[in-house]
Amino acid sequence: MPLPREEVDATTPKYLRDKYAIVGVGETTYTRGSGKTTRALGTWAVRNAMLDAGLKPSDIDGMLDYSGGDSTSATFISGDLGMRLNFYMDVVGGGSSTEALVGIAIGLIEAGCCKVVAIFRSMNGYSQVRIGGTGVRAAAPVSGDALHNRAYGWQSAGQNFAPTFMRHMYDYGTKPEQVAMVK
């Protein structure tokens, strides 16, 4: 019989303490020119995470992933592994997407939508699309928001955020040494 939990305000971080865990990590071989599609790599990684956690495909009922137009959809990965999902979400995002997806997974479980959520990221940075605009993406036609960014050579996160930092330096007198401390 579990010990009774003290009443905790559900809107506080303390409410979530010791309630959720990341139980499986799946990786593929780190290599240049994998010769595999992002779909194959993603399926391999999620399968490895399930093995690490001792889960079966039927145990997972939610899947989240993020990409910058350089990955594959959760629907393909879940289908390849024989999963029947209650919820999936493919997010277009960058480096801070991982922790956001962990929060979304907790929300899905809290809301009763899912019991177990897999999160993955799959990419071929060397041979396909890479941050900074090399590979396939560099040769792609420019459209949409990229019409503004590419005109100034902005392709990576650092290049895109630089004007914001410059404005902060101007408005608040922030010194370059202080900006350099941001990690």
- How confident is the model at residue 96, as a pLDDT? 77
95, amino acid identity: G
Closest CA to 129 of 91, 163, 168, 156: 156
> In terms of pLDDT, which residue wins out, 6 or 12?
12
pLDDT tens profile 116-148: 999 999 888 666 666 655 555 556 677 777 777
- How confident is the model at residue 6, as a pLDDT? 65
| Residues linked to residue 89 through DSSP beta bridges, in sequence order | 64
pLDDT at 156 over 80: no
* DSSP output for 11-22: TSHHHHTTT---
Closest CA to 124 of 44, 47, 48, 36: 36
pLDDT tens profile 26-67: 989 888 878 888 899 999 999 999 999 999 999 999 999 988
CB count within 10 Å of CB 64 equals: 24
**Given phi > 0 = left and psi -120 to 50 = alpha, else beta, which region is 175?**
beta
| Helix, strand, coil distribution of the chain in percent, nearest 5 | 40, 10, 50
Q: Which top CATH class is 13-120?
A: alpha beta
105, amino acid identity: A
Task: Spell out the domain ranges in the chain.
Answer: 13-120, 142-180
123, amino acid identity: M
DSSP, collapsed to helix, strand or coil, labels residue 38 as: helix
